[in-house]
A and B are shown apart, each in its own frame.
Chain A
């Protein structure tokens, strides 16, 4: 199941683990990324709370967790080359994985069709 938030995060749910990234649109809007702060593995986060930070030349953008749960993995490979994430590969460049407490956290999120309608 793939869902999007209004803040341009995506979450792919497999079992009780969600893989979270940001949309191609978000990557495009950010522009050149100069700094990324990832969450700590094992940290508990609430739905809607800032879990990661992406800083571009112009501004800082917080990445909000689409669901409440515990961080199980982070994509630290992302920190080696901040220019690697592009609009083309944004759906493969996940940021963190989260073991979610309650699947109903995703109920209000958008599917791909609704999300694409929102950004068009």
Chain B
């Protein structure tokens, strides 16, 4: 199958991007400085990521809200103009079909879904469309993620007024002569922005952002280590059709009004788990020693299998191996010692609270 290319493909090559196939797209896993350097630069200053492979979808019309409420546990009606919510497409058993962002701007609902689930999600949405709702997949929009503590300064240097623009908001701006839609959100645990720009402007925007000394190009490798440290789940690893939002630590994505009414897919199982605890829980994991523990590794307690690693690798911020995984609830408390069964060799591994590295979102100036 031929891989898809984002509008920044040539830009990546020109900047030393090492391209790999990811979810059907040819994407940079890293640039010349490497994953660790890109990761650290994002935490200290600012990383620029091409996330154009994610699908941007618009829903318009009187039926859009009701449609999304049929598929998610989100109080979509409560998402006011200019706001963004994290949401989940759920199946009838409360399993996660995908995770997504829902934003309301100009009276339309803007969705961003995972690249690897875009086909599934658009078909899923189409199956529920009625004559009151129109869906557009924005194929001519690129998406740039600017992430890190310097990201607001970088945008202000380009003339943006970010007054009153806080975490999980969406707004239209005039930037570099183009109309762009920006959300203050991301996938790193840092303050940051996701900038939706017309595909034809993507290279010009990337070059303008990169010309700021605060900005370093960062690839999918750093994106993965950053989100792992931040305890942010990835579909296909932490999230799948057999995992519920409660197990995955996503209680915040279950709107109160929807739980009170129990009117979303899988509500009975999910509400039962909210009340009585789920069987297993997503946790952070810190293996002893220097060797990373990888995805799929079984976790043992007194010789019994009690869970598995869902994402495992190295944490550049902590400068040690780290992982995410699911463990049986009685053992999910921080500090619990388990063993990771690394091909017959057992490594002691400690359960740790998430996030492994604190979030630093911009929620507004404290007064």
Contact = CB atoms under 8 A, between A and B. Distances in A.
Interface of A: 31-32, 34-35, 37, 53, 55, 57-60
Contacts of A34: 290, 292, 314, 321
Interface of B: 29-30, 34-37, 221, 224-225, 290-292, 294, 313-314, 316, 321
Contacts, number: 37
A58 B221 contact: yes
A79 to B, nearest CB: 9
A97 to B, nearest CB: 24
Contacts of A57: 35-36, 221, 225, 313-314, 316
Contacts of A55: 291-292, 314
**Residue of A31, A34, A35 with most chain B CB atoms under a 10 A cut-off:** A34
B292 A31 contact: no
A58 B29 contact: yes
A58 B38 CA distance: 14
16 contacts: A31-B35, A32-B35, A34-B292, A34-B321, A35-B290, A35-B292, A35-B321, A37-B291, A55-B291, A55-B314, A57-B35, A57-B36, A57-B221, A57-B314, A57-B316, A58-B313
Interface residues of chain B: helix, strand, loop or mixed (majority): mixed
B19 to A, nearest CB: 13
Nearest to B225: A57
Contact of B294 (A31, A32, A60): A60
Nearest to A53: B291
A46 to B, nearest CB: 18
Nearest to A59: B294
Which 10 pairs show the lowest CB-CB distances between chains A and B? A34-B314, A32-B36, A57-B35, A57-B314, A35-B291, A35-B290, A32-B34, A55-B292, A32-B35, A31-B34
Given A31-B221, A35-B321, A60 B35 contact: no
A53 B313 CA distance: 15
Given A34-B290, A57-B35, A60-B294, 12 more contacts: A31-B34, A32-B36, A32-B37, A32-B314, A34-B292, A34-B314, A35-B291, A55-B291, A55-B314, A57-B36, A57-B221, A57-B313
Among A37, A55, A57, max chain B CB count under 10 A is at A57
Contacts of A35: 290-292, 321
A53 B291 CA distance: 10
Which of the listed residues A31, A32, A37, A60 has the most CB atoms from chain B within 10 Å of its own CB?
A: A32
Contacts of B292: 34-35, 55, 60
A59 B35 CA distance: 12
